[in-house]
Structure formats: C-alpha cells, structure tokens
Amino acid sequence: MEDEHCIFSIFGATGDLTNRKLLPAFYFMEQERQLKEKFRIVCIARKKKTSEDYRKEAADSIKKFSRVKVSQGILDKLINRIYYHQLDFLDDNDYGKLKDFIGQISGKECSDCERVFYLAAPPQLIGNITKNLKESGLAGKHELGKPFSKVMFEKPFGHNLDSARKLNNAITSVFDEKQVYRIDHYMAKELVQNLLALRFANSIFEPLWNREYIDHIQITVAETLGVGGRGDYYDNAGALRDVVQNHIMQLLALVAMAEPKKLSVEEVRNQKVKALKSISGFNKMGIGKIAVEGQYSGGEASGKKAIAYADEPEVSKSSKTETYFALRLQIDNSLWKNVPFYVRTGKRLKDKATEIVIVYKDVHFGLFSKLAPQRNMMKIRVQPYEGITLQFNAKVPGNKFIIDDVNMDFCHECQFGPNSPEAYERLLYDVLIGDQTLFTRWDEVENAWRVIDPLIEAFKNIKPKLYQAGTWGPKEADELIERDGRKWVEPKRPSYADQLGKSK
C-alpha cells in the first residue's frame, strides 16, 4: 500500500517552476499511466484561492507548457487529483491546518500513503518549512507504522559552504538521507546518464580514459539567453553558484570518477564524491591565472539586439556579478595527474551548447608522428543535437598522402527517436519509485562547495571582464587556455543537425 499511492505536496504552487515544469510533467505521467489511482497533488501557496480557481489555472498552464499534445480526457483526470491549500510558510500555526487538509484528502484508504513534499520555495524558507513539517507530524524520519515521507528541492543549495551546511542540517534534522531528493536537472539529461554507459560499457573507450591517452578535457555550458526576468536572483548568485557549483561539478564528477564497483546508487555517488574530493585546492595568489570572470555588455544575441547585463531589470548598475566563468582544474589522483580540465559557462554567448570534449594526446609515435595530424577528440554533445562525435584522422583521396580529420557521429535522436522524457518527468517519476540515482547526495554538494568557496572569496571585490553579448566570452578566457598551448573547442552543428526538427 505504502509504495503504491502517494500524496504529493508542492510548496510554492503558484510559481513559475510549478506552472512551467511540474504540472506539465504530471500531465505526461498521467498520460503514461504512471500515477496510481489514489495519487493526489496538494498545491500550497500564500495566495488565497479555491481549489476550483487553482484547477482552472493549472489546466491553462498545462495547455500552454506541455511538450505533448493535451487531450481533454487525460487533463480532466489529472485536474481532479489536484487540491489547493493556502498557507503562510512562515506562520507556524498554519501547519496544523495543512495537516488536517492533507488528512482529509488522504481519507481512510490513504492515511498511511507515502507523502512527498516538493519545496519549490526560496531557500531561506526551507528550514522553517521542514521544521514545521516535523512539528505538525506531517513528516519526519521514518518510523514503522507511520507514512513514509520524502522531501525534494532545487538549488540554490546555500550561498556558500557554510550556509549550505546550515541548510542541510535543517533538512537532515527532519529527514534521513534516504528520504532527501536534491535536484540537479542536468543529471536527468539523457546524454549525462549516458556517460556511465559510454565510459564503462565500451572496451574501445574505457582503456583510453586516463592520463596516458588524454591530453585534457573541456566542459562547456554555454547559453545564448541573458538573465531575463531573473535579475534579482541572478545578481546575488552569478555563474559560479548558478551553474559551476552544481551542473558543471556533476558533469566533471561523472567524467572523472573511477569505475564504480557496481551499478548501485550509493556506489556511483561514492565514486563521484571521491573525484570531487581529488580536485586540488587553489593557491589564492594564483587564482587569477586559472580562473576568469566575465560579464556581458550589450551586443547581439541570436540575431537580436541584446542589452548589457548591468542594464537588465533588477540588476544593480554597478553589479560585480559574473555572467561568465572559466576555470582550469586539476584532479590529483593517479588517473588524472597533470591532465587539466578546462570548464566554462556563460550567458549571452554565441551559441547554446553543453558539450564535454575529450582531447586525446598527439600521435607521438610511428609513421605519422611528423605529419602532425589533428588530435583525436570525442565530443559529447549533451544539448542541443544530443549525441557523440568522434574526430579522427583519415587519408584525403588523391595520389598524395594527405591526412585530415573526419567525424563519426552518433545522433541520439536519429537512433532512439525524439521522445526522451523531459528532466522533470524523469525526476518526478524517480521520486515516486524511490530511485535516488539522479539526485545528489549531501557530500557531493559539500565537496562541490569546497571547490567553489575559495573562488568566490578570491573574486569578491573584482569587477568581471566585460565581453560583448553574442561572443564566446572575454578574451582573458582564451588567454587562460592558450597560455597552456591549447584552444577552446568551439561547439559546432554536427552533420546530422539538418535531419532533426526545427526545435533545436
């Protein structure tokens, strides 16, 4: 009974995340019959409204944001599962009423059903919400005979290591780690999940995945969008906290970790943590040589005029917040000693692309060592044009022996079709079935902050270098990698791009 049904409560149910992502994801799950008969959604927010009002708005959001065609019958079925409850998140006395409300909805037949609490609320409210969930008896560490409860939330997970620890203490004083689902939506991307298979299910790649054969690795998370309507949040966060601390550190951990002994959630997490712990510390004096912060000035992005970051709404005119960050990291273990990892992320860059590029060493032996062929590369395209390109050398036709680089492409969509689940469809499903694989454990978050904290400190009073919107970032970031005799690999449309729909 407990694993079959669930009461899913969303704190922050009138926000953007709920409307754009969570409700459409539930629609998809309803369509796929992944929701059990007694599954109910309790939508909680501060605004006063009835369940009827909320249901109308929810239906509109689903019609607007669903990635699949909406059929009225399925929509009605989902909408009938949704209830609205008004709550002041900060008023401790309100939680008793929430408990009664959830009790009524659960009814007798679902009084011991599992309860999931999705906290789509600002981080400063999370401690108070979890404390009240415990005190009202709605949730807590698992005890026999009581409903099992789970808690889910998004980043920002703290502002630095210290605040992240405090937030985590607040959560783990109410829930055990096995009840906690920390979301990093990058983990739900198909090509990210594919990294395990690519690395450990292929005898042609695995033996070469180390310092003997790899010259360096690049990770790029580039966006063409600016901060849009999120100036208020972003100006207090910046690219380091917004993307490097979480998405890039997760990608790096998956690329660099040693082979897990078995395919289990905890073993994969253990190996990721080991990799993160091996990232060497930074020498404060030397940070300027291995890291660059940038901020976009006006320019053109995706063919349209783009304003400077400092002119964006809710952003301070004299803002020192970085919208771009590039960094060279070293991983101090026997697998990666002396193999640099170059990572970069930015907004308002030339193209949207998340790519991991493995750059192999020069051919330094045998017949062609003098002909200086291009380095072999493996480009793992996380998005868009999901897939993998292997770049290698081949003879150009003709009677001279000329060598040039050619590509061998794996197009994920051509092979498997366009229907990979959207991140939240996958994450919500996983929480229902209790699979924590795609969620981050506390020590992953903690060790990522350990890397980021000194960088935040070092750049605290430094104005980022300006770069023009629509370019690849500040020239100092090119210099960072060029000083080592290397170059950023510019993301390119793969040969199969034209075959795919216009959605990319």
Residues that bind ligand BG6 (CB under 6 A): 185, 223, 242-243, 354
* Minimum CB distance to ligand BG6, residue 190 (Å): 12
Helix (H, G, I), strand (E, B) or coil at 42: strand
Closest CA to 252 of 344, 165, 160: 344
Between residues 223 and 312, which has the closer beta carbon with respect to ligand BG6?
223
Among candidate residues 85, 185, 216, 247, the one labeled active-site is 247
Between residues 135 and 351, which has the closer beta carbon with respect to ligand BG6?
351
Position of minimal CB gap to ligand BG6 = 242
Between residues 81 and 185, which has the closer beta carbon with respect to ligand BG6?
185
* Minimum CB distance to ligand BG6, residue 66 (Å): 18
Residue 32 structure tokens:
């796929």
CA distances from 175 to 127, 149, 181, 270, 446 (A): 12, 8, 10, 20, 18
CA 436 to chain centre: 15
* Minimum CB distance to ligand BG6, residue 223 (Å): 5
Residue type, 59: A
Residues 6+ apart with CB under 8 A from 160: 449, 452, 453, 456
Known catalytic membership, residue 412: no
Between residues 140 and 346, which has the closer beta carbon with respect to ligand BG6?
346
* Minimum CB distance to ligand BG6, residue 192 (Å): 10
Cα distance between residue 150 and residue 140, in whole Å: 9
CA distances from 157 to 121, 165, 245, 420, 422 (A): 12, 9, 10, 27, 22
Closest CA to 78 of 31, 124, 120, 111: 31
Residue type, 114: E
* Minimum CB distance to ligand BG6, residue 230 (Å): 7
Between residues 39 and 181, which has the closer beta carbon with respect to ligand BG6?
181
Closest CA to 321 of 465, 452, 450: 465
Q: Which residues are known to be catalytic? A: 247
